[in-house]
Amino acid sequence: MAVVMVAFATPLYFDLAVAILGNLRRARRTPRPAVRSIQLAVVVPAHEEETMIARTVRSLLAAGCAPAAATGPDNGSDERVFVPRVFVVAHNCTDRTIAEATAAGAEVVVLDNPRKRGKGAALRAGFRAAHGAGANAYLVVDADSIVRPNLIAVMRAALEAGSDAIQCRYELELPADARVFSLARLRVLAFRGINVLRARGRAGMGFSAGLFGNGFALTNETLVRVPFNADSICEDIEYHIKLTCAGVSVDWVEDTAVYAPLARPGIAQARQEARWEGGRFHVASRTSTKLVSALLRGNWRAGGMLAEAWSLPLSRGMLTLLLTVFVPLHWLHVFTLVCLLISILYVVEAALLGPAPLKDMAALCVVPLHILWKAAITPMVLLHTRRHTEWARTRREAQHL
């Protein structure tokens, strides 16, 4: 029993330790000179997104017209960076997604085929359309997101400097009425830990940063080398595993970000979390053999990918640690204390990466409620580990620019 507990917890705490150390040793990189020309297009996969798609397109168009000086403190130019073409892939939409996206200024690619389902199919259609229009690199932004004004310029600069695959900061929007002691603030903090702290920490230690399905970019050369044939509900981690096995590392881009709204609390949140957790472990179980094989061939980044793929959510890791208290083994209790220390350092670092660290730390008061929530949705998670889960729109709180 003790060995099983340790086996479940070890990937998570190895990943957290890498993140902590990587963030501590991470030095700000100086801008690299351009070594190639990039024609960047934005691909926005959309399924029943009539309420959100217009604000996403407007945000991208505004980002494209942002001054180049907004890209960072080292850039003193006033030259303006004009937006690339924005391709919205309307995937089996029955609402007003097409009309709203067109009115907002996007080019719409209609993918209306019941046999081609899922975000992976939508992305492939978008990549083909963008490549046909002359693009040689593609930035993926979800249809419910808004972006920082410097997104286009920063991402294009990283690609022009030689990166083959990149991921920027991906965070959740905190509702304006969120209280300090609220589950909403805790969820935003937890999301930042996964999609910012861990990614920049991995990159700081030399591992591949990771892909999170939103705010990432690929060159056409990368797609030719590693075709995007990922069709699970977790197409991002599935494709990242393919990249890792092929020796392609995802670079981290610190100075820009995309933001998505929180899922509505209750059943919508439960379904979203269950789909992603269950889908993640489904992908991990199908791809671990390939990662082990790559690791044995000398691809050391595959070891980090294994830990990432099998990492439990921190709340489930804490549940596992609580169970170890009841096992009368000294070495297991030492393991638990080490993991608890890692958890504390991880949460503090994640809070420091946000705009209100003290408020984020105060939100830890509701951690017991969050752990109970995770325990309650466990049956749904287990269900999704055993079946193919389809891409579905999650109900969210509509927000406007």
- Is residue 354 assigned to a domain? yes
pLDDT at 146 (0 to 100): 96
Confidence of residue 74 (pLDDT cuts 50, 70, 90): very low
pLDDT at 71 (0 to 100): 47
pLDDT digits (tens, 9 = 90+) for 324-377: 888 889 999 999 999 999 999 999 999 999 999 999 999 999 888 877 877 777
| Helix (H) / strand (E) containing 109 | strand 107-111
Its domain, for residue 330, covers 1-27+177-209+263-389
- Is residue 114 assigned to a domain? no
Number of structural domains, the chain?
Answer: 1
Question: For residues 255 and 71, is the Cβ–Cβ distance under 8 A?
Answer: yes
- Is residue 127 assigned to a domain? no
Query: What's the rounded Cα separation, in Å, for the pair 160 and 279?
Result: 34
- Is residue 310 assigned to a domain? yes
- Is residue 141 assigned to a domain? no
User: Which contacts (CB < 8 Å, 24+ apart) does range 368-372 have?
Assistant: 369/183, 370/183, 370/186, 370/187, 370/190, 370/315, 371/315, 371/318, 371/319
Give just the sign of the alpha carbon dihedral 282, 286, 290, 295.
Answer: positive
Q: Please state the pTM of the whole predicted model.
A: 0.88
- Is residue 15 assigned to a domain? yes
- Is residue 16 assigned to a domain? yes
- Is residue 267 assigned to a domain? yes
At residue 136, does pLDDT exceed 70? yes
